[in-house]
């Protein structure tokens, strides 16, 4: 997939300002931003990979492209075919863009609890959106199973299966990982991020670990309601999911194929409470001018905590997964935050930003 990815994107392992080949050419090669204000405040060096700059607006563009290129390379899909996925969020938006650009039909199954804005955006990007009743994964009518069954019923169609198809983590191993290493000039004490599918953490983590000869520690950050922190700190016990978080797109109840055995290579994991993630959404805006979603904010909280653990001046990178645009009616609404018991999480001097 490496050469196909390099041909299709601008992630070529070196900087170039030349024209890029179509929309997928604008995927990857995002800046690594040194978060100056937060670094100075914390006495560390924090770097954020600006994945919100991908054309679909999130880190999932890379996974979407990787999943499609891998299927093409294996001969599983031919021009004019159909890509089917069960997803409520960024992966669907990434796939809809990639399908449009590469001439595939895109069918998205999603729980009917999702916002109208997301449905409208996917439809504007040409996807055939099928909202279905929001039932648990164990139920055969769950949106993921419906996506798989529908793909199986068609000729020339694939179910991309972002959670368990490792083409997702591979896309990060061949693009996000090398970019971060090069941009950080090969000097990184730690890398930490949260996981949904685990593709970003495992792909980037594996590359950085190999490249640094094990010197770069790789950590996982969890939202409340995810089981991974307890799995890692208990040495492999999977507990029932309990609790919840206002963060979207992250948190997990099982070890996906994308996380796989990489989970054993992590140095550690910890949970970040929603109060800290919300406070960081506002702090990033105020200190860095960055308008980011809650998973990015959680990642930055975790990066600062890890860097402080690793010692003064240590260098830690994380991922700025997407912008706040998709969540602004929630994150910047005092009323919504109050309905989640989180109004007090906005630092007093930053309340002026809660304008909705
Ligand atoms: N942040 C957001 C906003 C996301 O949508 C996702 C993907 N669901 C992630 C983080 C986590 O990425 P990954 O699936 O690679 O673990």
Determine which helix (DSSP H) or strand (DSSP E) holds 3, and give its type and residue range: helix 2-8
User: Which one of 56, 90, 171, 266 would you pick to mutate in the ligand 1 pocket, going by the greatest count of ligand atoms within 8 A of its CB?
Assistant: 90
Per-residue pLDDT reduced to its tens digit, 150-187: 999 999 999 999 999 999 999 999 999 999 999 999 99
Same domain, 235 and 111: no
What is the predicted pLDDT for the residue at 22? 87
Residue 144 placed within a domain: yes
Residue 177 placed within a domain: yes
Instruction: List the domain range (segments joined by +) for residue 84.
Output: 78-155
What is the predicted pLDDT for the residue at 154? 98
User: Which one of 56, 59, 163 would you pick to mutate in the ligand 1 pocket, going by the greatest count of ligand atoms within 8 A of its CB?
Assistant: 59
Residue 104 placed within a domain: yes
Residue 163 placed within a domain: no
Q: Is 60 a catalytic residue?
A: yes
Measure 288 CA to ligand 1 centroid, in angstroms: 22
Residue 151 placed within a domain: yes
Q: What is the mean pLDDT of each run of 10 residues along the chain (356 residues)?
A: 76 65 91 97 98 97 98 97 93 96 96 85 95 90 96 98 97 97 97 98 98 98 97 92 91 95 97 98 98 98 98 98 93 96 96 95
Same domain, 293 and 339: yes
**ipTM (interface pTM):** 0.99
Residue 109 placed within a domain: yes
Q: Which residue has the tokens 């599918």?
A: 197
In the chain, the number of structural domains is: 2
What is the predicted pLDDT for the residue at 12? 56
Same domain, 143 and 86: yes
Beta-strand ranges (E) seen in the chain are 32-34, 45-50, 82-86, 105-111, 128-132, 157-159, 190-193, 217-222, 268-271, 315-320
Exactly one of 36, 41, 49, 60 is catalytic; name it: 60
What is the predicted pLDDT for the residue at 184? 98
Nearest atom in ligand 1 to 89's CA: 5
What is the predicted pLDDT for the residue at 16? 60
What is the predicted pLDDT for the residue at 170? 98
Nearest atom in ligand 1 to 198's CA: 16
Residue 167 placed within a domain: no
What is the predicted pLDDT for the residue at 13? 53
Whole-number Å distance between alpha carbons of 86 and 105: 14
Q: What's 146's domain CATH number?
A: 3.40.50.1100
């Amino acid at each position: 997939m490496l050469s196909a990815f390099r041909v299709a994107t601008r992630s070529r392992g070196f900087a170039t300002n030349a024209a890029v080949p179509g929309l997928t050419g604008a995927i990857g090669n995002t800046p690594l931003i040194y978060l100056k204000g937060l670094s100075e405040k914390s006495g560390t060096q924090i770097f954020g990979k600006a994945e919100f700059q991908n054309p679909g607006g999130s880190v999932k563009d890379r996974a979407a492209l990787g999943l499609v290129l891998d299927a093409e390379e294996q001969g599983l899909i031919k021009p004019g075919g159909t890509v089917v996925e069960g997803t409520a969020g960024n992966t669907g938006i990434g796939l809809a863009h990639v399908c449009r650009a590469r001439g595939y039909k895109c069918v998205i199954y999603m729980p009917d609890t999702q916002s109208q804005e997301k449905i409208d955006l996917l439809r504007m990007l040409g996807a055939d959106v099928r909202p279905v009743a929001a039932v648990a994964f164990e139920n055969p009518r769950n949106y993921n199973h419906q996506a798989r069954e529908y793909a199986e019923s068609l000729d020339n169609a694939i179910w991309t299966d972002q959670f368990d198809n490792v083409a997702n983590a591979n896309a990060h191993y061949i693009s996000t990982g090398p970019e971060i290493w090069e941009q950080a000039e090969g000097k990184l004490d730690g890398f930490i991020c949260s996981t949904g599918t685990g593709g970003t953490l495992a792909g980037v983590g594996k590359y950085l670990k190999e490249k640094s000869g094990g010197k770069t520690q790789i950590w996982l950050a969890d939202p409340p309601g995810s089981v991974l922190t307890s799995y890692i700190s208990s040495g492999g016990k999977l507990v029932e999911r309990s609790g919840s978080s206002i963060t979207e797109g992250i948190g997990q109840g099982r070890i996906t194929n994308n996380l796989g055995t990489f989970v054993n290579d992590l140095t550690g994991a910890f949970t970040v409470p929603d109060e800290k993630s919300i406070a960081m959404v506002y702090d990033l805006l105020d200190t860095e001018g960055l308008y980011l979603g809650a998973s990015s904010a959680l990642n930055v909280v975790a990066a600062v905590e890890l860097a402080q653990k690793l010692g003064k001046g240590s260098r830690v990178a994380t991922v700025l997964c997407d912008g706040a645009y998709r969540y602004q009616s929630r994150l910047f609404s005092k009323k919504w935050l109050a309905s989640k018991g989180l109004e007090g999480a906005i630092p007093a001097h930053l309340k002026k930003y809660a304008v909705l």
